[in-house]
Amino acid sequence: MKTIKLNDMTIYVAKNYDEMSQKGAEIIAELLKAKPDAALGLATGGTPVGMYKELIEMNKKGEISFKEVSSYNLDEYYPIEKTNDQSYDYFMRDNLFNHVDIDINNTHIPNGMAADCAAEGKAYDELVRATGGVDIQVLGIGGNGHIGFNEPCDVFDPITHQVTLDERTIRDNARFFNSIEEVPTQAITMGIGTIMTAKSILLLASGKGKAPIVKEMLLGKVTPQVPASILQFHKDVKIVLDEEAAAELLSEIE
């Protein structure tokens, strides 16, 4: 697989979505073998689904175990019940937790029904802080450069907080709903500061729709208008792209 070093970032260019998913799973599996009680920062969305499938297979074959793992998800819609099949709580159970040997009590997702989002954010950051920083934070990237639900804005948000979703995010996520009107307009997300406490980062991106923002994130200036650009300042970042998502980056640097 083509590997590129860009400052402290390692970029892997996979042929396609399946190879990207496999590489992502290998990186997580390697961590779990070295540290069975790792703290995982997890993401939802379309991108990591294939990686979660690979991890489920590895777990079924006995190659990796989640028994001692704890997990901390990036975000949750707000307000939303856990039982709603559009909640990220439901997504994680459906796409990973129900199929591996993880103790569900060790999985954490911001509470989409919190009465007080500020208090929820503070408590969530305390939980993450108690891990000493998750060992690896899985990220996707929004077409507008968001990570978690940190949308483009004037300042990097340090803490877990309530957000109003961007029009672009609502449009992009409408594919998971019957209609755009059903997409929640609010969410609770780890802040950029919370994300940056992760000991390592694993960002996945696939498809040509992500090609412009992938280039911008890695080669553009670091700005809260492209929240993912902050990753240029993290010391241990692995980015796994498929060829389509890597296309604009590669045409710039090669």
Asked whether position 128 contacts ligand F6R by CB under 6 A, the answer is no
Asked whether position 45 contacts ligand F6R by CB under 6 A, the answer is yes
Residue of the chain from 46, 158, 212, 224 that contacts ligand F6R (CB under 6 A)? 46
Q: Which is nearer to ligand F6R, 46 or 133 (CB)?
A: 46
What's the rounded Cα separation, in Å, for the pair 186 and 102?
A: 29
Q: Which of residues 59-118 bind ligand F6R (CB under 6 A)?
A: 74-75
In the complex, what is the shortest distance from the CB of residue 73 to ligand F6R, in angstroms, rounded to a whole number?
7
Asked whether position 140 contacts ligand F6R by CB under 6 A, the answer is yes
What's the rounded Cα separation, in Å, for the pair 236 and 10?
A: 8
Asked whether position 244 contacts ligand F6R by CB under 6 A, the answer is no
Cβ-contact 209, 143 below 8 angstroms: yes
Longest dimension (CA), the chain: 51
Cβ-contact 80, 44 below 8 angstroms: no
β-bridge mates for residue 73, sequence order: 42
Chain position carrying tokens 């990186």: 27
In the complex, what is the shortest distance from the CB of residue 141 to ligand F6R, in angstroms, rounded to a whole number?
6
Residue of the chain from 13, 40, 43, 165 that contacts ligand F6R (CB under 6 A)? 43
State the catalytic residues.
75, 144, 146, 151
Q: Which is nearer to ligand F6R, 5 or 175 (CB)?
A: 175
Asked whether position 147 contacts ligand F6R by CB under 6 A, the answer is yes
Interface segment toward ligand F6R; rule CB under 6 A; list 8-16, 29-37, 43-51, 59-67: 43-51
CA 27 → CA 51, 56, 97, 204, 218, distances in Å?
10, 14, 18, 12, 20
Interface segment toward ligand F6R; rule CB under 6 A; list 42-50, 59-67, 94-102, 235-243: 42-50
Asked whether position 224 contacts ligand F6R by CB under 6 A, the answer is no
Nearest to 248 by CA among 225, 218, 214: 214
Query: Dihedral sign, CA of 204, 207, 210, 214?
Result: positive
What's the rounded Cα separation, in Å, for the pair 201 and 228?
A: 11
- Please report, as ranges, the residues that interact with ligand F6R according to CB under 6 A: 43-47, 74-75, 140-142, 146-149
